[in-house]
Amino acid sequence: MDLKQLKYFTTVVEEKTVTAAAKKLNMTQPPLTMQLHMLESELGVKLFRREGRLLHLTEAGEKMYTRSLEILGLLTNTAEEMKLFKSGVAGTLKIGIISSVQGTFFNELIKKYTLKYPDVIILISEGNTYELLEKIKNREIDIAIIRTPFSASDLNIKYLKTEKMFAVGEKKFFKSIKQSNNGFYNIDFSHLSKLPLIIYRRWQKVLESAFEANGITPNFKCINDDARMTLSLTLEKIGVGIMHPSALPKNLPENFIKCEIDSSLLTSKIALVTKSKTFIPETSELFWNIIAK
């Protein structure tokens, strides 16, 4: 029994005569009749009973017709699904992201992607830049959003955005800070040194160097592992978080403000990276094409 026989069988059932079925299948009657006899012989049951020129299903034929439709339908659906996989509009997107883009920035990117490709399953791995680079190297993920500085000469890289760092906290911490003409707040290292700072470990040495370059010692209140913890502790009013804007929610609480830190030393770029764009799955390539525009 093969799929061609099932197609022949269901067509005969639906057309009710071998002559009509042969015409629909673009074949002659004798080979079609032979295929039906072969199917019945293999199954060991009669599938049809004749009433003149018309064919009617036996009880076994009724069951066989139901099963044939299921099998042929599954085959059709599978073929369509494979087409979707080939085009990248179905499948799995294995992506890594750092904590400092998990505010509105990443949410907007992934929303844009899922609106266009709703059938793709998204597997998100979280980690710092170096952890995600290692995952890409080991093919645990196919694509990642990370942040400079990093060193990886064998990567395909698309820089998405350049950001400075901000001091975020309750207004009470920034009483001496005035708004600029464009409505933004700016803060220098002299003011920052007087504040209880919450930072994530990835930026500890960079911040220490920046303070040292300004001849000032920082007051690190809390050092933790990622931007989400920094934001959480900041919103609990423990101190002032030093963060990138991409890690922040769309709207801060009413009594909170963010102040841009006036230093080129604290500038970084968000990067979209892959091991080799030539060999990444279609789902990841589509993500790259959407985001990297």
Compute CA 290 distance to the chain's CA centroid, rounded to the nearest angstrom: 12
CA distance from start to end of the chain: 51
SS3 category, 96: strand
Q: What is the CA radius of gyration of the chain?
A: 32
CATH number (3.40.50.620, 3.30.310.50, 1.10.10.10, 1.10.540.10) of 3-84 reads: 1.10.10.10
pLDDT of residue 278: 66
What pLDDT, on a 0 to 100 scale, did the predictor assign at position 71? 84
User: Residue 105: CB partners within 8 Å, gap ≥ 6?
Assistant: 161, 245, 246, 247, 270
Measured distance CA(106)–CA(104) in Å, rounded: 6
- Residue 223: the pLDDT is 96
Strand bridging mode 166-170 / 240-243: antiparallel
Domain coordinates in residue numbering, the chain = 3-84, 88-163+269-291, 166-266
Domains 88-163+269-291 and 166-266 share a fold: yes
Going from the C-alpha of 188 to that of each of 78, 162, 179, 263, the distances in angstroms are 61, 20, 13, 8
Q: What is the pLDDT along the chain (293 residues), one digit of tens a residue?
A: 788 888 888 888 888 888 898 888 898 989 888 888 888 888 888 988 888 778 888 898 888 888 888 887 777 756 665 665 565 666 788 899 999 998 888 888 899 999 988 888 899 999 899 899 989 888 889 899 999 988 877 888 999 999 999 999 999 999 888 776 556 788 989 999 999 999 999 899 999 999 999 899 999 999 999 899 999 999 999 999 999 999 998 889 989 999 999 888 889 999 999 987 667 888 888 898 888 76
Alpha-carbon torsion, ordered 235, 241, 244, 247, to 10 deg? -30
Q: What is the pLDDT of residue 244?
A: 92
CATH architecture of the domain formed by 166-266: 3-Layer(aba) Sandwich (3.40)
Cβ neighbors of 139 (< 8 A, separation 6 or more) are 275
Q: How far, in Å, CA of 256 to CA of 26, rounded?
A: 75
Nearest to 218 by CA among 206, 229, 226, 236: 206
Query: How far is residue 132's CA from residue 144's CA, in Å, rounded to a whole number?
Result: 7
Specify the residue for token string 């003409």.
181
CA 187 to chain centroid, in Å, comes to: 36
Whether the CA torsion 66, 70, 73, 75 is positive or negative: it is negative
Q: Closest by alpha carbon to 200, among 171, 165, 237?
A: 165
Q: Is 293 helix (H, G, I), strand (E, B) or coil?
A: coil
Architecture (CATH level 2) of domain 88-163+269-291: 3-Layer(aba) Sandwich (3.40)
Written as one letter, the residue type at 244 is H
pLDDT of residue 177: 81
Looking at residue 101, its amino acid is V
